[in-house]
Amino acid sequence: MSEDSPESNATSKAIEGELWAEFCDILKDSGQLVLDNSEDELDRLEGFRYLTRLLRSGLMNVEGVGRDFSRVNTTAYNVKIGSDNPDALYQSASVSGRYDYRLRGPRGTVNYLSLNAFSGGFGVGDDPPDRQGALAFNDPQPDELVEVIASANEPAHLEPGQRWLEMNEATNMIAIRNFFLDRTSERASELTIERLTGPRDLPPPLSAAKLTSGLYSSVLSTQGIAQRFIGKIDEWKQRPNTLDFQAEESTAGWNDPTQLFRHGYWTLEPGQALVIDVPLIEAYYWNFQLNNIWQESLDYEWRQVTVNKHTAVYESDGTARLIIADEDPGFGNWIDTSHHRHGGMGLRYNQVVEDIPPACRVMTIAELNDLRP
């Protein structure tokens, strides 16, 4: 290897610390996204925390050993991206469309399980995410096992119970979603992944090229994800306190094809509440959630910021009345603003038969008394 070769230059930059300095400079510049898009102090504080969460997730690009040695990874604690579902356990496996894989393990008792094959990403310079194949598992059966062959070419033969997840040459990730109705009683799936074709070598030692790729990928994905969802909030601000159908969100990106999304921007003054009447609708699953302006779900671990088909309290006509307010009104389904004055919100349907718009209206706290049953 000559001293002027790309490999030699990459090694020199990594060993001498130039690579690390460049990484830190790009990361520092990302802070301007927070400064430029915050509306109040809480936005800004959560914005800088948001960058740390995205970076924490992105740094797995440094830690991993590449798509030749796949494993199922669970999204790190409190990493929240693009109106993350509070009812979901998100997992993924890095793969290569050149190889065939087998995913298998207990189905668990979780209400809904899906596997999707994707290419692309949201990082700066990445191709937009594109979905190749999708599988859905609805009502769990006792002791049910999942076995899936993931490959670019359809298998000539599948064993009884096996299913095929279609990939193509560009596929770089398999996303696994577990959607709970009740986290206290349901068990998530326990899937593992095995590469069936390709080299059988052990993982190589860390190289300068791998470190370079991992550091750049982590910081560029941090920037790219933040930019994408900031743009969405700006779009929804044009129609505040409404939930509009999001055709792109339902068909593009890293989304599950069984989902239908309604998103919006909410904003309330002290003494106001946003009332949303979710219609009686035929869907396998639905949920509503409140987000901050960075499109992170609010703190569902400790606060009442979400409701789903199972947890909702229903009116006599089958609708679910959601009341977004600073304090519990004592009826309906209270959604806690959690000290926020504005942010994003989302209504997600799974396998809906018909989309019926929800009714949204801003009221004063005093006017809520007229709605009491």
Do 72 and 193 belong together in one domain? yes
Q: With CA atoms as reference, report the closest residue to 268 among 246, 290, 286.
A: 290
What pLDDT, in 10s, does the model give residues 192-223? 999 999 988 888 888 999 999 999 999 999 99
Do 5 and 39 belong together in one domain? yes
Do 292 and 367 belong together in one domain? yes
Domain final residue, candidates 200, 220, 247? 200
Do 53 and 73 belong together in one domain? no
Bigger pLDDT: 3 vs 222: 222
- Report in angstroms the alpha-carbon separations of 30 from 35, 208, 218, 224, 227: 9, 24, 12, 10, 10
Number of domains forming the structure of the chain: 3
Do 250 and 363 belong together in one domain? yes
What pLDDT, in 10s, does the model give residues 66-106? 667 889 999 999 999 999 999 999 999 999 999 999 999 99
Do 250 and 349 belong together in one domain? yes
Do 28 and 108 belong together in one domain? no
Residue 200 contacts by C-beta under 8 Å, 6 or more apart in sequence?
A: none
Q: Which ranges constitute the DSSP H helices of the chain?
A: 6-16, 18-37, 41-58, 60-63, 208-236, 247-251
Q: With CA atoms as reference, report the closest residue to 332 among 278, 262, 270, 265.
A: 278
By DSSP bridging, strand 285-290 and strand 73-74 are unpaired
* Residue 340 belongs to domain spanning: 237-371
**Confidence bin at 1 (pLDDT 50/70/90):** very low
Do 354 and 254 belong together in one domain? yes
26's tokens:
């790009």
Residue 157 in contact with residue 168, Cβ under 8 Å?
no
> What CATH code is carried by the domain that includes residue 91?
2.60.120
Do 140 and 90 belong together in one domain? yes
Do 99 and 182 belong together in one domain? yes
> What CATH code is carried by the domain that includes residue 245?
2.60.120.600
Do 13 and 100 belong together in one domain? no
User: Buried b / exposed e across 170-205, counting CB within 10 Å, b at 16+?
Assistant: ebbbbbbbbbbbeeeebebbebebebeeeeeeeeee
Do 218 and 159 belong together in one domain? no
